[in-house]
Amino acid sequence: MKILGISAFYHDSAAALVVDGQIIAAAQEERFTRRKHDPAFPAQAVQYCLNYSGLDLKDLDAVVFYDKPLLKFERLLETYYAFAPQGVRSFITSIPVWIKEKMFLKRLLREELEKIYGEEAAGVKLLFPEHHLSHAASAFYPSPFEEAAILTIDGVGEWATASICKGSGKELSILKELRFPHSLGLLYSAFTYFLGFKVNSGEYKLMGLAPYGNPASADVERYVDIIKKELVSIKEDGSIWLNQDYFNYATGLRMVHEAKWEALFGFPQRRPEDELQEQHCNLGLAIQRVTEDIVIRMAQEAKRLSGSRYLCLAGGVALNCVANGKLQESGVFDDIFIQPAAGDAGGALGAALAAYYIYFKQERKLSGRQDEMIGSYLGPDFSDQDVELVVRRYKGVYTYFNDIHELCTETARLLAEGNVVGWVQGRMEFGPRALGGRSILGDPRNAEMQKKLNLKIKYRESFRPFAPSVLAEDCDQYFNYRGISPYMLLVHPVATSRHKDLPADYHQLPLRDKLYYLRSDLPSITHIDFSARIQTVHKETNPRYYELIQSFKKLTGYGVIVNTSFNVRGEPIVCTPEDAYRCFMRTEMDYLVVGNYLFAKTAQPDWQEKDNWKEEFVLD
């Protein structure tokens, strides 16, 4: 049985292919179009999935869209009715688009498929599972658990903004839902907006900013009290009620009523390029604490309702790896699996899996592997011939290694000497994280590496932390954590034995002074609060990346390296060898490794293209 899942028309469009229950291919459209969070129909992702598998559209048993457009339209109409006369401007803007395009989604999907596959599209079966059911399926079916509680949390689907489900074998049932306009995802996005970051993109930045808040500050406690008294009422079961007097997302074109928030917190809304001040950091810490409180309460309710020892997580809020780490430390569940493409892109995969197990009632058989995501390496890979085409086009100069062991040894040496290396190997990752397939790497011992990566390679805000990739079996040597974290979705502390002492006035220091204070013997991956967003690297899912880190360990004694996504600010992660070479040449990256090819920046011809990537990729 062959099923194609699609998510599209909101943000992070994607396609995923499931054949006889196995996940064969999955990719976000943005990687092909080079437009970050691309919401368009994922034409290139669909073609990639089918080409990779050797299938035609007519071979499919179904194409499955990740939510129910009519239910979403019903929610829009009822919301405008409930808030009228507020929202007239938004109503006039959005409803004609819905009527023209999304109300007739079945026809629209066929038309888009016809552009690629012609008349084959006429006969394809179309299915539409609900949004949060797609998220739940994306987390449970690839998990290693025979049965589990499932918690999905995001902005909003049709009506649901969070759900608690129970999965058992092939069965999946919804136990409880939280409904719009009350949404933890939208609450977090409202603070993302107020603090000057872009909604549906800057939530990562807010999470990274929060540790710069002073945990002992009375302001943090005051902000938490204000949030809980004025903005959100939190129930014992984790459900929430948001005071719509302060929010504008239900019917307006903005997230909040800015003047009311400014009066509430006592400072103006931050503009995107404004300098970050202490109050921004403290407010970020406050909403992060409130979020963690709600997530843990929701998980406790999921435990109570399901009686399960295991939990699966999905939805955009499941990408909050700080909250995930706190949830894991709480011990509510024995083990947790988090879908690596937890946002809407993963909805494409969940939709396909929901159709396979729920609609077509296929049996579920666990393989005994770590999980069924294959390390999330589900995107396209490229041959030597593809690299040679790039070499000829740009007259690139390279060294070719027949022996991967020699390539890893040389790359490890370059890293240990303080160089920044672009690393492109095998299939591209599915989901927002680079996991050693499309990564930029550095030496975590190097105190200058964080500054160099942020300012000279990524061209992004200096406060943003970098994540470590560590050999799975060495994890507890560097971190206060013994489990696995293959998808970089858990934050845990750097091992206490590696900490450096802090001065007594540390929390009173300006943000930049705090940022560059030497906090551990792994300064480039130790965040301001001694935490790290860990990726454990496993030989069975990425043998080349595993060997590289092993080579680095033999050379330095450290089985851990810095790993950040291979892109610049505002750019989607690179997909092809050409994307990688262009990014390499337009930044101050020192070396590039694509497959068995090693490029040194100093050996390349001058970059002739004078296009300005800062105009091409706007601030995200």
Q: What is the pLDDT of residues 150-160, one digit of tens each?
A: 999 999 888 89
Residue 180 CB coordination number (10 Å): 21
Same-domain check for residues 138 and 153: no
Same-domain check for residues 179 and 288: yes
The pLDDT mean for the chain works out to: 92
User: Does the pLDDT at position 78 exceed 60?
Assistant: yes
Domain boundary, last residue among 372, 394, 424: 372
The per-residue pLDDT for 286 is 98
**How many domains in the chain?**
3
User: Residue 462's pLDDT band (boundaries 50, 70, 90)?
Assistant: confident
Q: Where in the sequence is the domain holding 110, given as residue range(s)? A: 2-142+342-372
Tokens at 302, concatenated:
């999921």
What average pLDDT score do residues 400-406 get? 97
Same-domain check for residues 364 and 395: no
Domain boundary, last residue among 372, 390, 416: 372
pTM: 0.93
Lowest mean pLDDT among 102-116, 401-415, 525-539: 102-116
What average pLDDT score do residues 338-365 get? 97
Same-domain check for residues 332 and 383: no
In degrees and rounded to multiples of 5, residue 376 shows phi and psi of: 70, 15
At 132-154, the pLDDT tens digits run 999 999 999 999 999 999 999 99
Same-domain check for residues 133 and 234: no
What's the rounded Cα separation, in Å, for the pair 546 and 565?
17
Same-domain check for residues 514 and 524: yes
User: Which residue is listed with tokens 């502390």?
Assistant: 493
Same-domain check for residues 77 and 206: no
SS3 406: helix
At 8-57, the pLDDT tens digits run 998 899 999 999 999 999 999 999 999 999 999 999 999 999 999 999 99
The per-residue pLDDT for 516 is 77
What's the rounded Cα separation, in Å, for the pair 376 and 339?
9
What average pLDDT score do residues 316-335 get? 96
In degrees and rounded to multiples of 5, residue 601 shows phi and psi of: -60, -40
The per-residue pLDDT for 89 is 65
The per-residue pLDDT for 86 is 66
Tokens at 155, concatenated:
């902005």
Same-domain check for residues 38 and 67: yes
Taking the CA atoms of the chain, what radius of gyration do you get in angstroms? 24
Lowest mean pLDDT among 308-322, 426-440, 448-462: 448-462
The per-residue pLDDT for 20 is 97
At 218-258, the pLDDT tens digits run 999 999 999 999 999 999 999 999 999 999 988 777 899 99
Same-domain check for residues 332 and 416: no
Looking at residue 496, which CATH number applies to its domain?
Answer: 3.90.870.20
- Between 89 and 388, residue with greater pLDDT: 388
Indicate the residue type of 448. E
The per-residue pLDDT for 104 is 78
Q: How many helices, marked H, and strands, marked E, lie in the chain?
A: 21, 21
User: Residue 560's pLDDT band (boundaries 50, 70, 90)?
Assistant: very high
Same-domain check for residues 442 and 576: yes
Same-domain check for residues 354 and 385: no
Looking at residue 216, which CATH number applies to its domain?
Answer: 3.30.420.40
User: Does the pLDDT at position 510 exceed 60?
Assistant: yes
**Alpha carbon 429 to chain centroid, angstroms:** 11
At 165-177, the pLDDT tens digits run 999 999 999 999 9
User: Does the pLDDT at position 271 exceed 90?
Assistant: yes
In degrees and rounded to multiples of 5, residue 207 shows phi and psi of: -60, -40
Question: Rounded to the nearest 10 degrees, what angle do helices 577-586 and 384-394 cross at?
Answer: 40
The per-residue pLDDT for 578 is 97
Residue 507 CB coordination number (10 Å): 16
What's the rounded Cα separation, in Å, for the pair 477 and 482?
9
The per-residue pLDDT for 273 is 81
- Between 97 and 430, residue with greater pLDDT: 430
Same-domain check for residues 183 and 69: no
What average pLDDT score do residues 194-212 get? 91
Per residue, the 3-state secondary structure of 317-337, as one string, reads HHHCHHHHHHHHHHCCCCEEE
Contact 383, 42 (CB under 8 A): no
